[in-house]
Structure 1
Amino acid sequence: MFELLGIPPQALFGQILLGLINGSFYAILSLGLAVIFGLLNIANFAHGALYMMGAFVAWMGLNYLGLNYWVSLLLAPFVVGAVGVVLEQVFLRRIAQMDHLYGLLLTFGLALIIQGLFRNQYGSSGLPYAIPAELRGGYNLGFMFLPTYRAWVIVASLVVCLGTWFLIEKTRLGAYLRAATENPILTQALGINVPLLVTLTYGFGVALAAFAGVLAAPIYSVNPNMGADLLIVVFAVVVIGGMGSIMGAIVTGYALGLIEGLTKVFYPEASSTVIFIVMVLVLLVKPAGLFGRAH
């Protein structure tokens, strides 16, 4: 059927694979944004810079300390999550009761500072990060060649996203988080440490970004601008799925990655704008997003 349309099957399935890979990063990053916005009501513009920091932690761990990919995949989220905890304690907590615009401006300024520090130290050119030996090569599926590392990225992203959804929606800790979101004063009165929950939630959200950064390091070059290039698209994903919606971030991330990949096949000129076209159409029909709740 695709050959009748003048589209080789290899090209079609290759773009679907690329869409799934992009969707994996969209899903993890938008999930972290949704978690942070859901509890803190902060549009975290530092998210892209912290995603970049996760990739750089993996690169520095390999080149300075000899840490392999698997150690970095576990270590980078903790390191960047600790940085997020410090940022929340030192900066974000001071503006918690102010208008949301202050949080947006503050995190945007932090992103510029973080990117500037890494750009000053490492320059703007990309730094290579090798695919681990265990994940090199690929599989010939007949209709396409599937690189092993790309398959790993999709599976790892899906496991982390579904695990985060289960943690927030189906566990007691998740119930505490949702209660703190809905009524922090009552939750505090019941003996739950809401400020600690807020701090840990921000740290967890940016740890997800760092995890995505380590996954991205062998695919894309590690450079200070890698987060800024992706952040606008991820915010569009969050808006389409519904600000603060966990499942909305996951489903919309993968779906928009696929839509973007298919657009490159059938109408390449629109591939860079299709996500924003979808965002406009969704907001016209449902301003709260596909999975969001109207306030």
Structure 2
Amino acid sequence: MSALRIGSFLYSVLRLSTPLIFAALSAAICEKAGLFNMAAESMMLWGALIGVMVNGWTGSVWLGFLGGCCAGVVTGLLIALATVKGKADLMLAQIAINLASGGGTIFMLYVVTGDKSTSAMTIKSQSLPKIALPFLKNVPIIGRMLNNQNLLTYGAILAAILLMIFIKRSRTGVHIRAVGENPNAAESVGISVSRTYFLTWAISGLLGGIGGVFMSMGYTSAFTKNMVAGRGYIGLCASSMVRGNPIGAMLCAMVFGVSDAIANQLQLTNAPVDLVMMLPYAVTIIVLIIISVIKIRTHVRKIKNKASQVV
């Protein structure tokens, strides 16, 4: 395989990994706070739809980006309101909001455009810019992979680094980790658990919303029915693999991006379409099984070691 083809494949991997990285980071910040975020799918859906609508109405791609971010934050805060203030069960609340978002985005799209499938024919939205890096132009493979990516692709890598610094170094990040490890102990030293949960869900929603904006204003230039297509759940899987470590979550998301890129390549062959489209989700299931087996064996080994020490 030539260097050009390898570079093109890696370019596709990075591009396809971008929404997965944002979804993984959205889940990672929640995991550090002891929360389980399976609503990144909803955050991304609303971010994608509202971003396109604001973009089309104002003619500004940046206001569209801001609108999508706000939509993700609002989604996260709704979960916090239902679970922290309303004392609703976290899992049930997220299942409810995921179901409501799947139908709600289609309903809003229909009300605004009269179309239940896509905004492409009725809302003229723009795409966020791609960034040219002239100094990488002649670098084999790396230049092809990194040059002319969408702004949010670089933003996803930067977001993972900044989130890691935020969690490890900032006072607020320390509070989030303290609440995640032991909320009662955190409360006893003056940390407001409810405020920390609200802040965590807001940051999570922001990251999920940006991932959705990429889907409708980077990956494509329109909102399409159910366009997130399970990427929020794949991001959750990527985060769970590394226990919420932002850099690790980004790298795991890229692994799933590889499977997505391979699926796209296979679509150009005579391989069965349904089988090809299933590949990223099959990889997710296989990875989860492998991780579960490793965790079980590690747990059994620890029990055996403790038993031998007692004897």
1:90 aligns with 2:82: yes
Higher deviation after alignment, 17-26 or 254-263: 254-263
In structure 1, the residue matched to 2:186 is: 187
Q: Kindly tell me: are residues 53 and 175 of structure 1, through their superposed partners in 2, closer, same or farther at Cα, counting changes over 3 Å?
A: same
Contact 1:240 1:282 in 2 (8 A): yes
1:196 aligns with 2:188: no
Give the unaligned 5+ runs of structure 1. 3-7, 97-101, 290-295
In structure 1, the residue matched to 2:309 is: none
Q: Kindly tell me: are residues 208 and 169 of structure 1, through their superposed partners in 2, closer, same or farther at Cα, counting changes over 3 Å?
A: same
What is the Cα deviation at residue 150 of structure 1? Answer: 2.6
Higher deviation after alignment, 228-237 or 44-53: 228-237
1:49 is aligned with what amino acid?
S
Give the unaligned 5+ runs of structure 2. 110-114, 299-311
What is the Cα deviation at residue 207 of structure 1? Answer: 0.9
In structure 1, the residue matched to 2:130 is: 135
SS of aligned partner of 2:119: coil
In structure 2, the residue matched to 1:213 is: 212
1:22 is aligned with what amino acid?
L
Using the alignment, how far apart are the partners of 1:261 and 1:37 within structure 2?
Answer: 28
What is the Cα deviation at residue 118 of structure 1? Answer: 1.7
Task: Please tell me whether Structure 1 or Structure 2 has the larger radius of gyration of its CA atoms.
Answer: 2
Give the TM-score of the pair, scaled to structure 1: 0.78
In structure 2, the residue matched to 1:292 is: none
Using the alignment, how far apart are the partners of 1:90 and 1:278 within structure 2?
Answer: 32
In structure 1, the residue matched to 2:40 is: 47
Alignment of 1:201-280 (within 5 A): 201-218=200-217, 219-220=219-220, 221-242=222-243, 244-258=244-258, 260-261=260-261, 271-272=279-280, 273-280=282-289
Computed over aligned residues only, the root mean square deviation of the Cα atoms, in angstroms, reads 3.2
1:91-141 per-position Cα deviation (integer Å, ceiling 9, x unaligned): 454336xxxxx4223211111112212212324423244224x53889765
What is the Cα deviation at residue 29 of structure 1? Answer: 0.5
User: What is the aligned length?
Assistant: 274
Give the TM-score of the pair, scaled to structure 2: 0.75
In structure 2, the residue matched to 1:5 is: none
What is the Cα deviation at residue 151 of structure 1? Answer: 4.4
2:286 is aligned with what amino acid?
I
Aligned to 2:95, which of 90, 96, 108? 108
